């Protein structure tokens, strides 16, 4: 496993299932907290392929459409469902067809669009909190 990939070696669906709460699962999967920054240019025909679309449907069914597979955390809008690769894909994974990375159900989880963005980029709504001080006269 490459040095870059070694930061993800502990991620798996099997391990994720041992974590009960949504927040703890989100922390476990956070790429942002691991210092990983997703390349935004990663748009390719793979996600339109029949093999990916079929596997995607299997993963959504396995997770019952729940966000991070947590029972009761529904994703209300089907268009907001994303199947997340726990180990981020690199172009070589697709070019060299590394099925153990790109098509491995143990490395995939159902997420909402919002949860997926938090995994990759952090929760920006919580990063701008300003602590109130005695004597504050402005509401930020």
For residue 2, CA distances in Å to 8, 68, 78, 92 come to 10, 27, 35, 12
As given in the structure block, the two tokens for residue 139 are 């509401």
| Mean pLDDT along residues 64-69 | 96
> Can you tell me the distance from the alpha carbon of 120 to that of 105, in angstroms, rounded to the nearest whole number?
19
Asked if residue 54 belongs to a domain, the reply is yes
Q: Could you tell me if residue 135 is inside a domain?
A: no
Q: Is residue 136 part of a domain?
A: no
> Would 128 be classed as within a structural domain?
no
132 in a domain, yes or no? no
Q: Find the DSSP H helices in the chain.
A: 3-6, 13-16, 22-29, 50-62, 91-95, 99-102, 113-121
Q: Would residue 12 count as lying in a domain? A: yes
pLDDT score for 128: 47
Which band of pLDDT confidence, cut at 50, 70 and 90, is reported for residue 91? confident
For residue 98, give every residue at least 6 positions away whose Cβ sits within 8 Å of its Cβ, in sequence order, or none: 92
Q: What is the pLDDT of residue 54?
A: 98
- The domain tally of the chain equals 1
Q: Which domain holds residue 32?
A: 3-123
């Amino acid at each position: 496993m490459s040095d870059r990939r070694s930061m993800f070696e502990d991620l798996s669906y099997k391990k994720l299932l041992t974590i009960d709460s949504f927040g703890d699962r989100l922390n476990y999967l956070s790429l942002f907290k691991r210092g990983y920054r997703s390349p935004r240019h990663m748009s390719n025909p793979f996600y339109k392929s029949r093999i990916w679309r079929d596997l995607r449907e299997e993963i959504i069914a396995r997770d019952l459409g729940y966000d991070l597979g947590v029972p009761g955390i529904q994703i209300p809008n089907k268009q907001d469902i994303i199947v997340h690769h726990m180990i981020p894909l690199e172009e070589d994974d697709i070019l060299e067809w590394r099925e153990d990375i790109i098509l491995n159900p143990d490395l995939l989880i159902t997420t909402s669009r919002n949860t997926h963005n938090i995994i990759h980029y952090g929760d920006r709504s919580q990063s701008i909190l300003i602590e109130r001080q005695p004597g504050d006269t402005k509401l930020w």
